[in-house]
Amino acid sequence: MEFSDRLKKLNSKKNKYSWSETRDAWLFTGIGVVLFLVFVLYPQVKNFYMAFTEYNILPGQPSRFIGLENFRTMFISDGALGESKYFWVAFKNSLWAVIITVPGQLILGVMLATLIHNLTRGRLLYKILLYIPVISSWIVVSVLFKYIFQDTKGALVNYALIQANLIDTPIAWLQNATTANIVIWALCIWKGVGWVMIIYTAALQSVPKSMYEVAKIEGANAIQTFFKITIPLLKETTIYSIVQLTIGAFGIMIQVIMITGGGPMGKTETLNSYMYSQAFSQFKFGYASAVSIVMGIVVIGITLIQRRAFKEGQ
């Protein structure tokens, strides 16, 4: 101990880190670092290895290395047992979910934020009410949506549409791929709009009032002000929201498992729910890892493109 202390002192001339500070730092951060390494970083790395094997979950049993076989199955296998057609359906559904739910949440959320921002009375109450879907459990609201979109006349949505004379006969929402996907998207948008609204009401408050006063003196109308002042000033908020919403849209899984079960015929499966069912219903762990890696690349790729596109637009 003494020797090592002296050694540390000797080194400390070259080394700007003091021994006691390093020791304390590891006492503070060590547990966190170890847990992170074991349960977060190592699994992410192991995922890559698993993707190239026919992974065997039994402890001590070897996993067979099969090269790119999992990726081949995913992308180009065909025939009666061809898995790739299910993968591509899930892939397309995930992309559609991004294309529809990200702008849907963003536009409605910004609209609500603008309405609330211009309100003189009742701001707090509306914010509280509109945020309730955001804080509610996914599992609870998924159960709820499964029931309000039932195919009978008395189910809430069909009932409302019939009362409004928009349809004559009830729609079998969950029996048809397109309408079942619409239900899943509707849930995402309904639950996410409040989040966007809160982010933007905070951001709008930070825009200096003087900018608007100048615009007013110069004779700009409300729409011009919105597009020329508000939107450019909130660029950072918009990038942040779009990236978060995109990651969220790729995360769609509980809704699928709870509302449609992937059906009809696997046509509402998303990449995430597909990966989950391949691992934990089909026990194809290696294949599921391969799917998760493809998904990770797609998500990171899309969010990087979004960030880049916004930076260049400035």
141 lies in the binding site for another protein (CB under 8 A): yes
175 lies in the binding site for another protein (CB under 8 A): no
Rounded to a whole number of angstroms, the CA Rg of the chain reads: 26
Nearer to another protein, 100 or 130 (CB): 130
- CB hemisphere CA count around 102 (13 angstroms): 23
Please give the residues from 76 up to 105 whose contact with another protein meets the rule CB under 8 A: none
Rounded Cα–Cα distance for residues 249 and 148 (Å): 22
Smallest distance, another protein to C-beta of residue 87, A: 15
Please give the residues from 247 up to 286 whose contact with another protein meets the rule CB under 8 A: 247, 250-251, 253-254, 257-258, 272, 275-276, 279-280, 285
Q: Is 221 exposed, middle or buried (0-12, 13-18, 19+ CB in 10 A)?
A: exposed
Rounded Cα–Cα distance for residues 194 and 130 (Å): 5
Q: Look up residue 217 and give its two tokens.
A: 């003196």
How far is CA 167 from each of CA 148, 153, 164, 175, 187, rounded to the nearest angstrom?
16, 11, 8, 17, 21
Options 71-79, 91-99, 142-150, 211-219: segment touching another protein (CB under 8 A)? 142-150
Smallest distance, another protein to C-beta of residue 135, A: 5
Smallest distance, another protein to C-beta of residue 79, A: 26
7 lies in the binding site for another protein (CB under 8 A): no
Per-residue contact flags (x/-) with another protein for residues 196 to 215, judged by CB under 8 A: --xx-xx--xx---------
Cβ neighbours for 240, distance < 8 A, ≥ 6 positions apart:
199
> Judged by CB under 8 A, which of 1, 3, 13, 21 binds another protein?
21
Pairing of strands 64-65, 53-54: antiparallel
Nearer to another protein, 78 or 278 (CB): 278
CB 175 within 8 A of CB 157: no
Please give the residues from 294 up to 313 whose contact with another protein meets the rule CB under 8 A: 295-296, 299-300, 303
194 lies in the binding site for another protein (CB under 8 A): yes
Closest CA to 90 of 253, 278, 269: 269
Nearer to another protein, 89 or 243 (CB): 243
CB 51 within 8 A of CB 43: no
Per-residue contact flags (x/-) with another protein for residues 121 to 140, judged by CB under 8 A: xx-x-xxxxxxxx-xxxxxx
25 lies in the binding site for another protein (CB under 8 A): yes
Nearer to another protein, 205 or 224 (CB): 205
Please give the residues from 143 up to 162 whose contact with another protein meets the rule CB under 8 A: 143-148, 150, 152-156, 159
